[in-house]
């Protein structure tokens, strides 16, 4: 079908499949039914006890996440990372963009000087073909009028997937995994798809602060509140007991 006719094809919601006039493929009804983080009390999720208690000694200064890591966002992130569903990445990134825009407009703090996507190792980049955090960052940078730097922060060590590892193993897994060769920006925003224990982001931020960066904001699609982590741990124990 000719590309020029695409504008006449109705956009369908990814959940209910009904047509929608929204630029993102999510109708207002379904969007309003989803659970998002509430920023009316805190503009920084690190001030929320159920988030802060699950991220010990964060090396970053603030955290903005769109939603808890649960359906449908967890499924969408999996589809983005492993099934090349880039349109879902754009959908989530545009939702995160609106949230960040609103919070920055209401904040007295200055906006970040630069956006740094969480890097992946060249081996994973070769097998996957793309970096999902870079795709998210590309949606954010231009509307926010913030520089996107995809070169300065690199992943120099190939590591195992963090999922399935306990907190101590997660920290060990990513130790010395990153390098930074770029300007000593005053304030940066690091973009990732999801934050769980914060081990990977903490290691990135350790490297950035050693290079003279003063303030680090972390923006992610999802975060895992403490009670969600406890539920996952209980489920793992149950599965372990069944195998025994």
Q: What is the 3-state secondary structure (H, E, C) of the chain?
A: CCHHHHHHCCEECCCCCCEECCCCCCCHHHHHHCCCCCCCCCCCHHHCHHHHCCCCCCCCCEEEEEEECCCCHHHHHHHHHHCCCHHHHHHHHHHHHHHHHHHHHHCCCCCCCEEEECCCCHHHHHHHCCCHHHHHHHHHHHHHCCEECCCCEEECCCCCCCCCCCHHHHHHHHCCCEEECCCCCCEEEEEEEEECCCHHHHHHHHHHHHCCCCEEEEEEEEECCHHHHHHHHHHHHHHHHHHC
The reported pLDDT for the residue numbered 101 is 97
Q: Is 104's pLDDT higher than 80? A: yes
What predicted TM-score, i.e. pTM, was given to this entire model?
Answer: 0.86
The reported pLDDT for the residue numbered 123 is 87
Q: Which of the pair, 234 or 80, is modelled with greater confidence?
A: 80
Strands across the sheet containing 215-223:
62-68, 215-223, 187-195, 114-117, 147-148
Give the pLDDT confidence of 15-40 residue by residue, as tens digits. Answer: 999 998 877 789 999 999 999 999 99
Give the pLDDT confidence of 58-93 residue by residue, as tens digits. Answer: 999 999 999 999 999 999 999 999 999 999 999 999
The reported pLDDT for the residue numbered 31 is 94
Lowest mean pLDDT segment, chosen from 6-10, 14-18, 110-114, 147-151: 6-10
Q: Is 177's pLDDT higher than 70? A: yes
CATH fold of 36-243, please? Rossmann fold (3.40.50)
pLDDT > 70: what percent of the chain? 82
Domain boundaries, the chain: 1-33, 36-243
Q: What is the mean pLDDT of residues 132-158?
A: 95
200: nearest Cα among 184, 182, 227, 224: 224
The reported pLDDT for the residue numbered 21 is 82
142: nearest Cα among 171, 184, 175, 100: 100
């Amino acid at each position: 079908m000719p590309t020029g006719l695409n504008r006449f094809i109705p956009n369908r919601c990814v959940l209910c499949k009904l047509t929608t006039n929204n630029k993102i493929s999510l109708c207002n009804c379904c969007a309003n039914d989803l659970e998002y983080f509430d920023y009316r009390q805190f503009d920084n999720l690190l001030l929320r006890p159920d988030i802060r208690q699950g991220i010990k000694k964060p090396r970053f200064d603030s955290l903005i996440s769109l939603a808890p890591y649960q359906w449908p966002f967890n499924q969408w992130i999996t589809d983005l990372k492993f099934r090349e569903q880039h349109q879902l990445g754009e959908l989530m990134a545009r939702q995160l963009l609106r949230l960040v825009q609103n919070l920055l407009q209401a904040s007295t703090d200055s906006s970040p000087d630069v956006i740094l996507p969480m890097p992946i190792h060249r081996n994973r980049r070769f097998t996957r073909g793309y970096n999902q955090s870079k795709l998210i960052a590309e949606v954010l940078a231009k509307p926010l009028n913030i520089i996107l730097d995809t070169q300065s922060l690199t992943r120099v060590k190939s590591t195992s997937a963090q999922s399935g590892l306990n907190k101590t193993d997660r920290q060990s897994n990513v130790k010395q995994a990153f390098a930074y060769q770029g300007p000593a920006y005053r304030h940066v925003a690091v973009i990732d798809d999801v934050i769980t224990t914060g081990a990977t982001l903490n290691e990135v931020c350790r490297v950035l602060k050693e290079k003279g960066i003063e303030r680090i904001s972390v923006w992610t699609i999802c975060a895992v509140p403490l009670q969600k982590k406890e539920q996952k741990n209980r489920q793992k124990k149950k599965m372990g007991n069944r195998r025994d």
